[in-house]
Amino acid sequence: MNYTFADRIATLSPSAIREILKFTSDPSVVSLAAGNPAPEAFPTDVIADISARIFRERPIDALQYSITEGYPALRNRLKAYMTYKHHSFSDERDELIVTSGAQQVMELVVKVLCNPNDVILCEAPSFIGSLNSFRSLGAKLVGVPMEADGMDTDALETALKANPNAKFIYTIPNFQNPTGITMSMEKRRRVYALAKQYGVLILEDNPYGDLRYGGEALPNIKSLDKDGLVIYAGTFSKVLSPGIRVGYAVGPKAVIAKMTVAKQGEDVHTAIWSQMLCDEFMGTVDFEEHLHDLQGLYREKAALMCRLLDEHLVPCGITYHPIEGGLFLWCDLPEGVDMNAFCTRAVQEYKVAVVPGNAFSVNDEPCRSFRVNFSTPTDEAMTRGVERLGVFAREFLK
């Protein structure tokens, strides 16, 4: 049998991260390529207690079919949380759906909004998981270059003018993956104003917002939304557990209603035990104190990574972008250097894996950066990994 696949799938190239991660199954390789939470970030004892309580008190609820919109108690809790903490939920205009991770928000939004070849305006570079999700439904991606304070809003306006079939702007405003950049308040207002002016929506993806360990928190773009323009994606992946696969979307009622119909055809509903766990966790612990602890953990790991880069890579001419939160640092190789050769030789010969920056390219735009992660490796592994990168960089860049 010769299999022919849908056009939408033909546009998907294998993820460069997955290719790199294959090498990391070799135990001698130090991986700075992943984006997993630190194992010590999981409140395993609290989770075990909550799970036992769920099976003691409501076992059938945890095992039976549930409704597509999400576990009602969790939805209500998240609506309240998004209202009092983020000023990002309007009872009048908005609805909330629980999803199987924030990844599913990306997929549902493009599924309900975009016909094939409709345009999505994306920060360039951006999170490969979202870009591939958009591509898998035939959307056309147009990149908007990143600046130190977020996407280039002049370029965004040019792109909006040039693409009347643009449907939404995709942004990760806090500690963007992969660049670590945070969008300034001025640009948040400008992006919102442009969306309104040109009649497009905004998909605001905020997986890392709670992991701020420096500087001042900025309001969500969703908190500016008086016109029903913003779909906000949140997740428990970075603040509780990614393995449970619980995210959520807040957006205009009409959009969430369509996403609900589409989700029903994808997985009926998100695993109910996972949703009950999130609800009980927020109700059991002091959630802000829990976030505070996580911020302390990642602040220290980020500081260690910066010290290591300063010591081993900066002297070779590799620079990195300052961050105030998140899980990643974005490093620039000197001009004229073959970035892919650097990343490939680093893992093959020096047994240290980083992600080549062009994995995050929107349309194959050239890139001489790579991404390093400091949340997953132990301090010891991080030290060993950057030392190895330093040895290699001194040879490669001499």
- Please pick, from the candidates 14, 27, 336, 366, the single residue that binds a copy of itself as defined by CB under 8 A: 14
Question: Helix or strand or coil: residue 367?
Answer: coil
Among 19, 51, 297, 340, binds a copy of itself (CB under 8 A): 51
Tell me the window of 210-218, 225-233, 285-293, 304-312 that interacts with a copy of itself (CB under 8 A). Answer: 225-233
Please pick, from the candidates 24, 31, 90, 104, the single residue that binds a copy of itself as defined by CB under 8 A: 104
Do residues 220 and 204 lie in contact, with contact meaning Cβ atoms separated by under 8 Å?
A: yes
342: enclosing H helix or E strand: helix 339-350
Among 19, 42, 189, 344, binds a copy of itself (CB under 8 A): 42
Nearer Cβ to a copy of itself (56/398): 56
Stretch that binds a copy of itself, among 54-62, 171-179, 348-356, 377-385 (CB under 8 A): 54-62
Torsion, Cα 389 393 396 397, to 10 degrees, reads 160
Spatial distance between the Cα atoms of 257 and 276, rounded to a whole number of angstroms: 22
Beta carbon of residue 361, minimum distance to a copy of itself (angstroms, whole number): 17
> What burial class does residue 166 get, using C-beta atoms within 10 Å of its C-beta: 0-12 exposed, 13-18 middle, 19+ buried?
buried
> How many beta carbons lie within 10 A of that of residue 50, not counting itself?
19
- How many of the chain's residues bind a copy of itself (CB under 8 A)? 76
Nearer to a copy of itself (CB atom), residue 227 or residue 395: 227
**Nearer to a copy of itself among residue 112 and residue 333 (C-beta):** 112
Comparing CB distances to a copy of itself, the nearer of 42 and 287 is 42
Among 88, 223, 241, 373, binds a copy of itself (CB under 8 A): 241
Instruction: Select 137 or 389, whichever has its Cβ closest to a copy of itself.
Output: 137
**Which one-letter DSSP state was computed for residue 138?**
T
Question: Per-residue x/- marks for a copy of itself, 62-81, CB under 8 A?
Answer: xxxxx---------------
The CB-of-39 to a copy of itself minimum distance in angstroms stands at: 5
Residues 291-320 within binding reach of a copy of itself (CB under 8 A): none
Tell me the C-alpha distance between 269 and 71, whole Å.
Answer: 9
CB nearer to a copy of itself: pick between 9 and 303: 9
For the record, the structure tokens of 357 come out as 């920056």
Stretch that binds a copy of itself, among 99-107, 147-155, 295-303, 358-366 (CB under 8 A): 99-107
The H or E element spanning position 234 is strand 230-235
Q: Which part of the chain contacts a copy of itself (CB under 8 A), choosing from 253-261, 289-297, 307-315, 390-398?
A: 253-261
Question: In angstroms, rounded to a whole number, what is the distance separating the alpha carbons of residues 364 and 351?
Answer: 26
CA dist 136 and 5 (Å) reads 12
* Token pair recorded at residue 124: 């360039």
Task: Report if residue 5 touches a copy of itself, rule: CB under 8 A.
Answer: yes
Nearest to 209 by CA among 175, 233, 237: 175
Smaller CB separation from a copy of itself, 150 or 247: 247
Would you state the structure tokens that stand for residue 8, as one six-digit string?
Answer: 């939408």
Which residues 259-278 are close enough to bind a copy of itself by CB under 8 A?
Answer: 261-262, 264-274
Sign of CA dihedral 26, 27, 29, 32: positive
Q: What is the rounded distance in angstroms from the CA atom of residue 176 to the CA atom of residue 166?
A: 22
- Classify strands 355-356 and 94-99 as parallel, antiparallel or unpaired: unpaired
Interface residues for a copy of itself in 145-204 (CB under 8 A)? 199, 201
The sign of the CA dihedral 181, 187, 188, 193 is negative
Residues 377-396 interacting with a copy of itself (rule: CB under 8 A): none
CB 355, min distance to a copy of itself, A = 15
- The answer to whether 100 contacts a copy of itself (rule: CB under 8 A) is yes
Rounded CA-CA distance 95/108 in Å is 15
Asked if 107 interacts with a copy of itself (CB under 8 A), we say yes
